[in-house]
Amino acid sequence: MSPLRRYRALFGLTGPAYIFVAFLARIPLAMSQLGVLLLVAEDTGSYGAGGATAGALAIANAIGAMFWGNLADRLGQRTVVLVQSLIAGSGLLAVVFIVHTDLAWGWAAAVAAGAGLFIPQVGPLARARWRPVTSGVGESDTLMDVAFSYEGAADEASFVLGPAIVGVIAATANSTVSVCAAGVLLAVFGSWFALHPTARTAFAARERSTASTASLWTPAIITLSFAQFAIGSVFGSIQNGTNVLATAVGQPGLTGLFHALLGVGSVIAGLSLAYLPTRWSLASRLRWFALAFLLLSLPLLAVGSLAALAPVLFILGLTVAPYMITTFTLAEKLTPMGRTGAAMTLLAGATGLGYAVGAALAGRLADWGGHTPAFAVTVGAGVLMLGTVLIWRHALREPPATASAAPDSALVE
């Protein structure tokens, strides 16, 4: 069966409405991080303050991720994600209100952290729904690989559209409008995602699982968490470096659009993973993707204009989604079904924590020396990515492949 037919079969299991809602529900997280960064940086004139505020949101989101993931595994995603979406949407609107008062920017950072604590990790939670949805369908393991390729590409696409939307709004209106838009989108589509019937399917499968109390703290999951921390710091540092360079040439509103170039290349590569041979092990892929990222990040240290930055970001993006998709796929294969939601949100939380550290560190270095020191953080993240998967490569041994449950004809066309 061709990769295209596999995608059609996968989407036929849930219907197009779910794909649409689950995609839009994850965009506010990408919008909020860059949105509050620009909002506070414009208000205070400090990249460090903007990076610290975005970092506070990301750190709180990372801290809350595993808590909410565990709670969703126990109580079901419907109630948990619904509460998260409504509270977080309101929190983002509160950030805007605080910024437009005479209070110090630290108050905005505190409110942003409160909002970030509740923002749902829609991408990881959507991943947790696919195993129950594909259970009993022919070639379910193959469909799971396709599902994770799609989810990785969808995450990257959200981080294309999120910054792009923020950039367009910032260029045509202001950053206040972009953060407000993120809050409204989250309240609407986050709630819709929470109430979709696939949430019931995932919870029913969890209740049938006999491994719902298994420990997550295995060497494999710890290694993959470090791997995601490293890629998270890439996002934070590139956003700050791009913002500094764009501001230096008088075009700060282009920050989101240029950062989106990283995601464009990433989406293309992510969707193409379905064409890779299954005999190429996931652990081996992860090592090669990490090496490719490190090598392709080096030109960031030499860019001095937006024209030079654009192709570097696009090409670098070709390694990002394959790396992230592989880490999440390994995590799903190495985690019992009853703990999938917690595992997926743990990795997402590690990504958010990495974003916070990368954004804060790059912001401080940018205040000191401009965009090049900020991009040096990105290169350092590449070193961490490669070192992590090389040093702990033995922890990432994959379980034996399972046989297909039914022939191709059993798939939805």
* Confidence at residue 59, expressed as pLDDT on a 0 to 100 scale: 83
* Confidence at residue 353, expressed as pLDDT on a 0 to 100 scale: 83
Helices 198-208, 122-134: inter-axial angle, 10-degree rounding: 70
Q: What angle do CA 363, 364, 368 make, to 5 degrees?
A: 110
Q: Alpha helices of 15-139 — where are they, by DSSP H? A: 16-44, 47-75, 77-99, 105-118, 122-134
Q: Which of 74-88, 244-258, 391-405 has the lowest mean pLDDT?
A: 391-405
Q: Which residues contact 10 (CB under 8 A, 6 or more apart)?
A: 134, 143, 146, 147, 150
Asked whether the predicted pLDDT for residue 109 surpasses 80, the reply is yes
Q: What percent of the chain has pLDDT over 90?
A: 30
pLDDT band at 206 (very low <50, low <70, confident <90, very high): low
Asked whether the predicted pLDDT for residue 294 surpasses 80, the reply is yes
Give the number of other Cβ atoms within 10 Å of residue 272's Cβ. 15
Secondary-structure percent of the chain, ordered helix, strand, coil, rounded to 5? 85, 0, 15
Q: Is pLDDT larger for residue 340 or for residue 104?
A: 104
* Confidence at residue 290, expressed as pLDDT on a 0 to 100 scale: 94
Q: Which residues contact 134 (CB under 8 A, 6 or more apart)?
A: 10, 13, 140, 143, 144, 147
What is the average pLDDT score of the chain? 83
Q: What angle do CA 360, 365, 369 make, to 5 degrees?
A: 155
Q: Which of 44-48, 186-190, 208-212, 397-401 has the lowest mean pLDDT?
A: 208-212
Under a CB-based contact definition with an 8 Å cutoff, are residues 327 and 227 in contact?
yes
* Confidence at residue 385, expressed as pLDDT on a 0 to 100 scale: 93
The stretch 300-312 carries a mean pLDDT of 90
**Among candidates 116, 143, 105, 104, which has minimal Cα distance to 127?**
143
pLDDT band at 138 (very low <50, low <70, confident <90, very high): low
Cα separation, 324 vs 232, whole angstroms:
10
Q: Is pLDDT larger for residue 275 or for residue 181?
A: 181
Q: Which residues contact 309 (CB under 8 A, 6 or more apart)?
A: 242, 245, 258, 300, 303
| CATH of region 3-399 | 1.20.1250.20
* Span 314-364, pLDDT tens digits: 999 899 888 998 898 888 888 776 677 778 888 888 887 888 789 889 888
Which DSSP symbol is given to 215?
A: -
Backbone angles phi, psi at 238, to 5 degrees: -70, -40
Under a CB-based contact definition with an 8 Å cutoff, are residues 73 and 212 in contact?
yes
Asked whether the predicted pLDDT for residue 246 surpasses 90, the reply is no
pLDDT band at 253 (very low <50, low <70, confident <90, very high): low
Q: How many residues does the chain have?
A: 413
- The DSSP code sequence of 309-350 is HHHHHHHHHHHHHHHHHHHHHHHHHTS-GGGHHHHHHHHHHH
Under a CB-based contact definition with an 8 Å cutoff, are residues 240 and 51 in contact?
yes
- The DSSP code sequence of 373-393 is HHHHHHHHHHHHHHHHHHHTG
Q: Is pLDDT larger for residue 309 or for residue 208?
A: 309
Number of alpha carbons in the 13 Å side-chain half-sphere of residue 193: 33
Asked whether the predicted pLDDT for residue 209 surpasses 70, the reply is no
* Confidence at residue 405, expressed as pLDDT on a 0 to 100 scale: 38
Under a CB-based contact definition with an 8 Å cutoff, are residues 300 and 239 in contact?
no
* Span 147-203, pLDDT tens digits: 888 888 888 788 778 877 887 887 787 889 999 999 999 999 999 999 998 888 766
Q: Is pLDDT larger for residue 31 or for residue 397?
A: 31
Residue that is written with structure tokens 């109580």 in the block: 75
pTM: 0.75
Domain boundaries, the chain: 3-399
Look at the alpha carbons of 163, 310, 323, 229 in this order and tell me if their dihedral is positive or negative.
negative
* Confidence at residue 409, expressed as pLDDT on a 0 to 100 scale: 33
Residue that is written with structure tokens 């970001």 in the block: 313
